Chains A and B, each alone.
Chain A
Amino acid sequence: CKDGFLSLAPISETNNLNFYRNEADMLNAVNAAYASLQFGGVYNQSMYAIGEGISDNTEILDAQSGIDISQLDAFTTLSNNGIVSETWNDHYRGILAANTVLDRIGTVSMNEAMKTRFSAEAKFLRALLYFNLVRMYGDVPLLLKETTDVTEGYTYTRNPASEVYIQVEKDFTEAAQALPASYSGADVGRATSGAAKGLLAKVYLTQKKWQQAADKTKEIIDAGTYDLLASYADIFRINNKNHKESLFEVQYKKGGFGLGSPFNNRFAPRLAGVVVTTIGAGTGHNLPTADMNRAYEAQDLRKDISIAQGYTSGGTFVQSPYVRKYMDPAPFAASDADNNWPVLRYADVLLMRAEALNELSFSTSGEALLILNRIRKRAGLSDKTSEQLNSQAAFRLAVEQERRVELAFENHRWFDLLRTDRAIAVMNSKGFNIQSYQLLLPIPLTQIEINPSQIKQNPGYN
């Protein structure tokens, strides 16, 4: 009686003593790893704050929209910046979820095919999260197993970025081999082999492994699984999720489940009231810069699909550009809309191939130019000619420009500038006098303070 009286287990929470027993538990554990993608420190905020906000694509107009995000936008980021630490923490929370699946699944008695798939999904997610981390922070600690004792946490130091890339390639490669090419019904939206290959191609491209990038993209193209949608607008329509052009999306569903996408409110101008959002206030994040507004060619069909120039309030039009790609005309509640987030789509894969081919050897009228014009054609633009793109350098800039407008506000711009070593030149030309240390984020101050002997700051930051 005595011990029973004192052994009280949580009533309203699952605890880890009686979990990870069977296939159903492991499925829940894998799903939880996917759910990490919706953390504020991953795709719900950090990835656009860093992928777009830092870059010349978007800006923050007033402090009301958040000091942390303003710092990122203005290159005045301090090491105590809240987004910097949330990004770090949430990526590692996701990595823990993936590692837990990989550590625990071995001893679970379950269908072997499912075991293989679950492991591959976990590897895919782990690789994606580490790929984000290494691009944002440089060297990062590489944890590949579930932490069961917190003291283990103090023993890890930052691994060189090269080691992280090796692991990311390994995970994506293994995932690409084990994952199915597609899913049906209720499983649509899970990681596919195509998604793993596409992201692997991006990992190669980021490391300037041009040949591997070209090969991997070709593999995807040749498989014929994916294609460009005829209409650019269809890519973002909320009733057209996980379409043929999509390799991987973060899935959202509105309806009060806590699983809706927040971008409808995040990207709406702060003073627009509910005119833009339908429900709830706008946060004024990720507002297109004037420079971005000018970046589109005159006939580009993509501009109006991507950017709204303002809103009408009280009968008058208020000039206040905002990102339109993720607007849901009928959200369930504030920050509870239905838009998925495109992590990787086929247009990106095509442009990656064009870029890799151009880097391998410039050709005035090769496949690279065909790809570029294929993308432009859908946008209603005329072909670039080989006279216009008469050098490798010119073609590079054309791809950069095309990527900017084609993939606008999809969290690629800053990483593209970093990858192509163009960040300093481009940002300086836009009036930001940035220095090379600012190409990486600071390591969160709290993490250095907790474990100062192992975790050191990136140079240039305090």
Chain B
Amino acid sequence: IFFLSAMAYAHHTPAQELLNRGVSLKLSSVSLREALNKIETNTKVRFAYSSELLKTTEPVSITARNETLSSVLDRLLKPYDITYRVVNSQILLSRSKKENTAPQPAELPQPNAPETTDRVIKGTVTSNDGKEALPGVSVVVKGSNIGTTTDMEGQYELSVPESSAILVFSFVGYISRETPVGNLSQINVILQADIKALNEVVVVGYGTQKRGDITGAVASVSAKDIQGLPTPSLDGALTAKMPGVYVAQSTGTPGGGLSVRVRGTGSIGAGNEPLYVIDGFPVTADYSQMSNPLKALNPNDIESIEILKDASSTAIYGSRGSNGVVLVTTKGGKAGKMRVDIDTYTGIQRVTKHMDMMNASEFAQYIKDSRNNAWVDVGGNPNDPNSARSAIYQILPALQNPESLGEGTDWQREIFRQAATHNVQLTLSGGNENIRYMTSGGYYKQDGIILNSGFERYSFRVNLEANASKKFKIGLNLTPAYTISNPTNSEGHWADGGIVLSALTMAPHLPVYKEDGTYTTGLDLGNGFSAIENPVKLAKERVNRMNELRLLGTVYGEYKILNNLTYKLLLGTDLQNSGTKTFRPSTVGIGGALPPVIPSGSNENRSSYNWLIEHTLAYTKSWNKHDFNILGGFTAQKAHSDYALINSTNFPNDLVETLNAGIVSSATTTATEWSLLSFLARANYSYASKYLLTATIRRDGSSRFGENNKWGTFPSVSAGWRLSEEAFMKDLPVVNELKLRASYGHTGNNFIGNYDHVGLIAKRNYVFGTGSQTVVNGLGPNRISNPNLSWEKNKQMDVGLELGLFQNRIFLVADYYRKITSDLLLNVPTPSITGYTSARQNIGKIENKGWEFGLTTRNIDKAVKWTTDFNISFNRNKVLSLGPSGEPLYGNYQLTSSHITQIGKPMGNFYGYQAIGIYMNQEQVDNNPKFADSKPGQLRFADVNNDGRLSSDDRTILGNPQPDFIYGMTNTVSFKGFDLNVLLQGVQGNEILHLGRRFYANYAGTANGLKEMTNSWKSEQDPGDGRTPRVNRDLNRYTNSNASANISSIFVEDGSFLRIRNIALGYAIPPKLLEKAKLRTLRVYVNLQNPVTWTKYTGYNPEVSVQGAAPLEPGVDYGGYPIAKVYTVGFNLGF
């Protein structure tokens, strides 16, 4: 079963191909329904039929040996006057036409039912898009035995006794519908395919499986869920959709990455992003906030995304499986006449929030106060003129009369803009029985909400599939894409030119431009002011452009050696070439230096190839109620990357930005490689679709690990029990599906540097000689070797329950899991007396355990349809052991020991002093624990160790960035052609280290800041809000209590939020109107992304994480690119 490629199931298969599939089976005296089930399993086809159709049949027996499906069906169904045809890749069964021409109540199981012929209702039943007639649909008057089935054209005619009657339309594989008759005489019904149906085919590692047979924890998102979302990459489409999958949009940088976590964070030093497998090719997706590794893939080309969560489903990916696996399957062609689809949307974006900063007059007062307070502290008089004060106590003449300054410049308004976004895509698909194609071309453009930032993508796709012969099939997926992004260095420290932090801290009394039209600068304000460059200039004048050309391609051939034995060869490659060009003109000051400075530029180039070869052999065997299939394979993958960087400086002017204009100051090239060899196997066994068993094993050999640990083995086993298939459950008709499943397995994590086990010698050149001297080569120890380095080991247990009630009107999936990650790949800080400050080691153990619930309910299923998908996940993270000494690990984001990771606690806690208020007077200072430099008006911290004084021993855990639970809810309402979809995302119980406050709430008068600082302590009589310390320019005199040199609880905020992530409202033009215009489909829609967020968090975006932060330093907000509200309108047009 698993021999066939993933593509075969995700795509609609042409009729003839389906019917020509080979069938081998031997059945004796089973019900026709069972026989059909068996054929479904063996040949991966799906039948759709009315329940009544098979009720009267007698037990059948049949033996077939590699016979075509059509022949088997003929033999099987003819005796019962059942005919079949292929619709939407399903085989529809219905009464032969001769008997069906005049639908009779006589077909009903109880022919003696009273026949009242009050009224005759006619109508047509069609499927999903309203185009395909559905034959054989059961139409029954609710609560009676009156009914009929639709004919080959999907039409029915039925006598109904009374107008209060309700018609129930049902068909296996589709969602049932109830429609009140009222006074209608014509009732046309569109049935929706049941996406949650258990014979849904799900892509799993190296194959597919029926949803009902899966014994692992797998969550899916289909094309329908992604359609029209204004997101440039597929990770954005996963947000809040699935239990156990936490997707955070931590940056609004156009083309920036999202962070995806499957079941918590298990790794400290080896990455926590899942493995992405695109059309069978595992891509290396090193997460980057600046540049999304998945940005080259157009989300509109995606047919389905499956996330494998537990060890049973991920162990087949061995040493790369422990962070979960995301399987992406792209769309394929369908046999039939060519379909042309045009999808386009356009929209505008606005920043979701402005922070409340001081205006010019408040700023001036703040600066005055901070300097006067400091001057008084060193014995001065606040009325002293500047000439009497030393530099840092002086007050700029421009700021001496705060009242006169008014509002000044709102720098946020100056850097943010209303930005446009556009997307257009053309898709052509079609084919015949022997060859199917799907090809698309798309253009996506997103201007960033910060001036001058943006992202553009040109993407193309060719998917082909062909039957070369009855036994031989080939396929091809090719995705070239070119992206251009312009992140403009928005994020990061103002001293490095971060635009966001610069805008928040830039002096508001300065205008953007001087009268002569040139830019102002904050670099010349003088001693005591932070040297902040004009953020508008930073945004507009610097060049920082990245472009990437990526070609992802796979090709496969599949050969049926025997009817039940298939060999498949898959070859794939991922070619990438990306470049980053920067230019900093003379007009932009740097490192505190005033412009004009010497211009400089750089050019960075990365190119890589990654190839994969994969051989798999699949075998299947069925007898009686036993189904058995087995897969074995061998794969090899290798990647090589080259890197080059050229820096140039001394440009004579700003006219030419390419490096030739300057003098090359440095150039370097490096190269790196990794390789992976693997053997894999999986066996599935099922008895009567009731008892399910799966076992997998993978053996990986990796170049990334030490000589003593090159190879590792990753086994898993899982079992399922479908209670709903048991006879005793038939008495509970309310329960249509009940499955219990359990799994256990081992996986690994190898996301570390390519040569981390190798001890390195680094270039350390020196100079000797006379005169102009000579550079001599030096090579010194740089990294200690570790021949025992191995992957992180992940052991995961999962128990799950799937429960469907009332024909899946209510469907619940619940999972409990516990995973232990041990041998963490950790860059352990080591005693630096060794000469090494850290060493890569396998150390420590982390536990993640939790509950996940996914609940789908069809609340209203009438003319108005209302479906709710709700998911909620509770993950608990705990460190079980660490390092040789068991001592805590500290993260150092900007400040030393900003985070602590210690045994018994969750990873990455914020660490520092607990502020408990302000010293209101000298008496309080004298009588309470204090630092030597503590004084009235300053922050008062808790004496955590109760030793009567304050010291670094009083630092404590201030909060944790990991949420208590995350949840998501999608409500879908449809009525006639309208559909409304509302997606909510919630995160509860996490804290954020709002470290940007060390600049915009540092109480030191070095730069502009939050308006809340006007509530500062001024005197015992005027203590402000009692939380905000006294402003004081002399922060260096108070190293312990100043707010920018130490982490304290004043930076830690509640990060919980509830966000309306998306609202989509669409209208599909009715098919009748479309036919006149020769159109197949036309849907118009509007979409609102991030319209509302409820949170107490004071920064821009509670989904924070700073660029470049190490795993031990999570949850920090340090001037990130804010996210946008996006309003789009669009249409999908098909003909």
Contact = CB atoms under 8 A, between A and B. Distances in A.
A280 interface: yes
Contact of A67 (B672, B770, B829, B1036): B1036
B758 interface: yes
A-B pairs with lowest CB-CB distance, top 9: A96-B835, A32-B780, A281-B593, A31-B778, A153-B831, A32-B778, A35-B764, A80-B896, A12-B670
Given A6-B702, A92-B833, A35 B1036 contact: no
Interface string B807-835: 00000000000000000000011111111
Interface in A246-282: 251-253, 256-259, 270-271, 273-274, 279-282
B758 A15 contact: yes
B768 interface: yes
B636 interface: yes
A257 B672 CA distance: 24
Interface residues of A, number: 100
6 contacts: A11-B670, A241-B770, A258-B666, A259-B766, A274-B597, A446-B896
Interface stretch (B483-491, B673-681, B1061-1069): B673-681
A175 interface: no
A451 interface: yes
Interface in B742-789: 754-755, 758-770, 772-781, 784-785
A35 B672 contact: no
Given A6-B677, A450-B831, A80 B770 contact: no
Interface string B1029-1068: 0000001110110001100000000000000000000000
Given A273-B593, A280-B593, A14 B779 contact: yes
A281 B831 contact: no
A398 interface: no
Given A6-B701, A62-B391, A281-B593, A147 B835 contact: yes
A259 B775 contact: yes
B850 to A, nearest CB: 30
A257 B669 CA distance: 15
Contact of B781 (A16, A64, A256, A455): A16
A92 B835 CA distance: 5
Contacts of A411: none
Interface residues of B, number: 92
Contacts of A462: 951-953
Nearest to B711: A6
Given A76-B1036, A153-B830, A281-B590, A15 B759 contact: yes
Contact of B767 (A7, A156, A252): A252
B564 interface: no
A241 B952 CA distance: 46
B1128 interface: no
A31 B764 contact: yes
A445 B890 CA distance: 11
B775 A11 contact: no
Interface in B677-717: 677, 701-703, 710
Interface string A76-116: 10111010010011001101110110000000000000000
Interface string B937-979: 0000000000000011100000000000000000000000000
Residue among B593, B761, B767 with max Cβ neighbours from chain A (10 Å): B767
A36 B598 contact: no
B832 A92 contact: yes
B45 to A, nearest CB: 41
Contacts of A292: none
B528 interface: yes
Contacts, number: 289
Contacts of A146: 781, 835
Interface of B: 391-392, 524, 526-528, 530-531, 590-594, 597-598, 636, 638, 649, 665-666, 669-675, 677, 701-703, 710, 754-755, 758-770, 772-781, 784-785, 828-837, 839, 841, 884-885, 887-888, 890, 892, 895-897, 933, 951-953, 1006, 1035-1037, 1039-1040, 1044-1045
B1098 to A, nearest CB: 25
Contacts of A141: 831, 833
Nearest to A41: B832
A92 B527 contact: no
A32 B779 contact: yes
A99 B833 CA distance: 12
Contacts of A96: 780-781, 834-836
A271 B710 CA distance: 56
A277 B343 CA distance: 58
B58 to A, nearest CB: 58
Nearest to B896: A80
Contacts of B673: 8, 11
B776 to A, nearest CB: 5
Nearest to A148: B784
Given A5-B675, A6-B703, A189-B768, A150 B897 contact: no
A387 interface: no
B777 A28 contact: yes
A77 to B, nearest CB: 8
Given A70-B1036, A253-B767, A451 B781 contact: no
Contacts of B773: 189, 241, 251, 253
A48 B948 CA distance: 37
Contact of B594 (A6, A9, A251, A273): A273
A189 B769 contact: yes
Nearest to A73: B1036
Contacts of B598: 274, 279-280
Interface of A: 2-3, 5-17, 19, 25, 28-36, 38, 61-64, 67, 70-71, 74, 76, 78-80, 82, 85, 88-89, 92-93, 95-97, 99-100, 140-141, 143, 146-154, 156, 185-190, 241-242, 251-253, 256-259, 270-271, 273-274, 279-282, 333-334, 444-447, 449-455, 462
A78 B835 contact: no
B638 A31 contact: no
Contacts of A153: 830-831, 833-834, 836
Given A15-B760, A17-B758, A446-B829, 20 more contacts: A6-B710, A8-B675, A14-B760, A14-B762, A31-B766, A31-B776, A32-B781, A35-B764, A35-B780, A61-B391, A85-B832, A85-B896, A154-B884, A154-B885, A186-B774, A257-B775, A259-B775, A446-B896, A450-B829, A450-B887
A372 B158 CA distance: 124
A449 B758 CA distance: 27
A186 B524 CA distance: 46
A10 B765 contact: no
Contacts of B527: 61-62, 64, 271
B703 A453 contact: no
B531 A64 contact: yes
Given A5-B677, A154-B885, A64 B592 contact: yes
Contact of A74 (B830, B897, B952, B1037): B1037
Contacts of B896: 80, 82, 85, 445-446
Nearest to A186: B769
Nearest to A257: B775
Contact of B766 (A16, A78, A251, A256): A251
A30 B780 CA distance: 8
Given A188-B768, A257-B765, A2 B885 contact: no
A259 B765 contact: yes
A61 B1006 CA distance: 14
Contacts of B760: 10, 13-16
B707 to A, nearest CB: 8
A85 B892 CA distance: 13
A95 B61 CA distance: 85
B1037 A154 contact: no
B1104 to A, nearest CB: 24
A110 to B, nearest CB: 16
Nearest to A63: B1036
A63 B775 CA distance: 36
A38 B832 CA distance: 18
Contacts of A259: 765-767, 775
